[in-house]
Chain A
Amino acid sequence: MPEKKITLSVSVNGVAHTATIEPRMLLSDFLRHELGLTGTHVGCEHGVCGACTVLLDGRSARSCLTLAVQAEGVEIETVEGQGSVDQLGRIQEAFRQHHALQCGFCTPGFIMAITDMLRHHPLESDEQIREALSGNICRCTGYEHIVNAVRELARERGPLT
């Protein structure tokens, strides 16, 4: 049975896109294959690893557990909106300084999840930071340096108002 394709309008990092896609297309595949934004990584494809985390209307979400068609009218933010190789975003810079990545596969997901955390979560103690990070898996760093980076970012941000 051929699927009825659906036309979708979204904003990704402030840029408007329109595409006609199959309903079954995951948001992660839409970003990577339709828009060529391959910064969003696909790890487990069932919501466990966190590598595909993006922001939907400012809140983190697994793009592998979201259908692209569900993002109609949504403001999407991906790691490409954070900075570039020449001009790292603040979180990326903190990751570099603290050596919070090694192979880098999980990093885009961490960066996006941390963006949400810094906007919305107190992050007042290491315990809170670790709990907030618990939805993202990193197999290289042992997390210690990631926690260090987030601690610095949280201190820099100050208490949430």
Chain B
Amino acid sequence: MKPAPFEYLAATSAAEAAEALAAANGDGKIIAGGQSLMPMINFRLVKPTILIDINRIAGLDRIEKHGERLRIGATVRHRMTATDALVHRHIPILHDAMHHVAHLTVRNRGTFCGSVCHADPAAEMPMMTLLLDGTIAALSIRGERQIAASEFFVGSLMTSLEPDEFVTWIDIDTLPPETGWGFEEFSRRHGDFALACVATTMRIVDGVACDVRFGMMGVGETPLRLPDIETLVEGQAISERLLQDVSEALKGLLQPNTDIHASADYRRHLAGVLARRALRDAWKRATFRKDGPDA
């Protein structure tokens, strides 16, 4: 199908974009990479009166380290995140995750922030933002609002962004160099949306896991952090027994959907399998990296 008519503005400053978005009274849309928005516009699922293109706004296309956080600008493409040296060095789990994001051609255009705004419950970047305690900067003519990732994802394809707000950057945690990680995703074809995915990080202190983070996607209405699993693993050494407890606990915690891709039962089963693999990988990597990231 072809898009319904709309006006187009190639904004040259964030303020100009914010003003145009406010003037559109909730019927405007921001476009960066367009890899999620354009299919919806082509299908006329979304019919904006105006598309505001932020690609020509200077300064949004950077990844910068601010203290212990990495700040990813609104027009940073997946390709850049996948090849960025800061990401590779400070958040290797994100570097790993990028290999699962769509396909080469889509990664050339699609953006980190756009994927988070689209909030697909089976997309990697929303889950990684949640896992890395992200902060989302939302700009409007009323000013900048910083939203914690834990408050951002409210439903499938739904966020707490107001209609006149758009994202200018997202901040995420870097990880201490001795952190181990596991990232396990299952999809039918490489690059497709996940049927289930686990991302986890931990350090080993005195022979047990600490600072455990455990996130999942594809198994609920939003990406998930699972504090119950984090508590279960925290302070423990990874053992067959513990992994068994984790997969049992997941069965009670998850309420995945049944759709044409997979049944809820299958997704729950996958969750347990992927959780075991990811936790084992994280433990193994944390064991190696205890003596420094290059050991």
Contact = CB atoms under 8 A, between A and B. Distances in A.
**Same complex origin of A and B:** yes
Interface of A: 1-4, 6, 22-24, 26, 29, 45-47, 50, 53, 59-62, 64-67, 69-70, 72, 113, 116-117, 121, 130-132, 134-136
A24 B105 contact: no
B113 to A, nearest CB: 17
B258 interface: no
Nearest to A47: B39
Name which of B99, B103, B104 has the most chain A CB atoms within 10 A of its CB: B104
B42 A134 contact: no
Contact of B189 (A23, A47, A65, A134): A134
22 contacts: A1-B5, A1-B49, A3-B7, A23-B51, A24-B4, A24-B6, A26-B42, A29-B2, A45-B42, A47-B39, A53-B105, A62-B105, A62-B109, A64-B42, A65-B34, A65-B35, A67-B31, A67-B51, A70-B55, A72-B10, A131-B191, A132-B104
A106 to B, nearest CB: 13
B102 interface: yes
A78 B108 CA distance: 16
A116 B109 CA distance: 13
A26 B3 contact: yes
Interface pairs A-B: 10 shortest CB-CB: A135-B103, A23-B8, A46-B39, A65-B38, A24-B3, A60-B105, A59-B108, A3-B5, A134-B190, A135-B105
Contacts, number: 98
A67 B31 CA distance: 10
Given A2-B5, A60-B104, A116-B108, 20 more contacts: A23-B5, A23-B6, A23-B51, A26-B3, A46-B42, A47-B38, A47-B106, A62-B35, A62-B105, A62-B109, A64-B42, A65-B35, A66-B34, A66-B109, A70-B10, A72-B10, A113-B105, A131-B190, A135-B104, A136-B103
B214 to A, nearest CB: 27
B39 to A, nearest CB: 4
Interface of B: 1-8, 10, 31, 34-35, 38-39, 42-43, 49, 51, 53, 55, 79, 99, 102-106, 108-109, 189-191
A66 B7 contact: no
B108 A61 contact: yes
B7 A23 contact: yes
Contacts of B38: 46-47, 64-67
Interface centre among B7, B43, B105 (most CB of A within 10 A): B105
Contacts of B39: 46-47, 65
A130 B108 CA distance: 17
A44 to B, nearest CB: 9
A62 B39 CA distance: 11
Contacts of B191: 131, 134-135
B8 A6 contact: yes
B187 to A, nearest CB: 11
Contact of A117 (B2, B35, B104): B104
Nearest to B34: A65
A26 B35 CA distance: 13
